[in-house]
Amino acid sequence: MALVVTEAIVLHAFDYRETSRIIRLATREAGVRSVIARGARRDKSRFGSALDLFAQGTAQLQLHPTGDLHTLSGFDVTRARPALAAHWARFAAANALSEIVLRFAHDDTQPALYDAYANALGALEEGDSVAAAAGLAGAWRLVAALGFAPSVTHCASCGTALDPDARAKFDHRVGGALCPACGRSAPGARELPPDARAAIAAWIDGETPPTPDPKSAQSHMRLLREFLNEHLTDHRPLRAFTVWEHGDWGGRPR
């Protein structure tokens, strides 16, 4: 077995037998990995609370040459992120981001994806009022790091520069916004106003556009979900994303 020491974030965890837990980790050096933390459920476990959801730290992995389940020999927490569990809006958005990583990432080195995920969780910790915008920004940056960000400033079909002040059709299958000529060949495509395209472009580029109002945020979530579903190879629904999209979070604490 090869020992790998890498930055990691807990994506998902569940109990296994009487004393262990199986963890899904997003790692900077080894992609997304499934690991077993033996003895993690014992009262005097060396892991303690290190394996809480969204915890970030340094993981010591024993990677098996065959098989998909590896061994977690240690996890030193550097950032626990309890604030993400303190409010439904932040928690739901963080779960949706984790689901994107789980469903689209691979078991190879993806430092840009790891950094985008870590930064997105960090932004969600900053406050409840910006949870929707922070979640949308993080999701689109994950999509960009995964390599299939939509084209919103140029036609996704012919490459023509789009008028920044005009509405444009958005085709999930083609991969983005369309010029008027190409848009005529996509009658079922959604039409986006210029401010929506500008917001998506800003989120992808790591900039901070104006925070969308609740109605606009819902429209952005729907567009993002449709885009993600178009590019999922297994066609299974994004359940955590759906909870985030349709949740009436208001301001109630978790």
Tens-digit pLDDT profile for the chain (254 aa)?
A: 689 999 999 999 888 888 888 999 999 999 999 999 888 777 667 776 678 899 999 999 999 888 789 999 999 999 999 999 888 899 999 999 999 999 999 888 889 999 999 999 999 998 666 889 999 999 999 999 999 999 999 999 999 999 999 999 999 999 999 999 999 999 889 999 999 999 999 999 998 888 899 899 999 999 999 999 999 988 889 999 999 998 754 444 43
- CATH architecture, domain defined by 2-80: Beta Barrel (2.40)
pLDDT digits (tens, 9 = 90+) for 75-110: 999 999 999 988 889 999 999 999 999 999 988 888
Distance (Å, whole) CA 200 – CA 140: 7
- CATH architecture, domain defined by 83-150+191-246: Up-down Bundle (1.20)
Distance (Å, whole) CA 195 – CA 218: 15
Distance (Å, whole) CA 21 – CA 169: 46
Domain locations along the chain: 2-80, 83-150+191-246
Distance (Å, whole) CA 40 – CA 141: 33
Q: State residue 124 phi and psi, 5-degree precision.
A: -70, -25
Residues in the chain: 254
Q: What is the pTM of this model?
A: 0.90
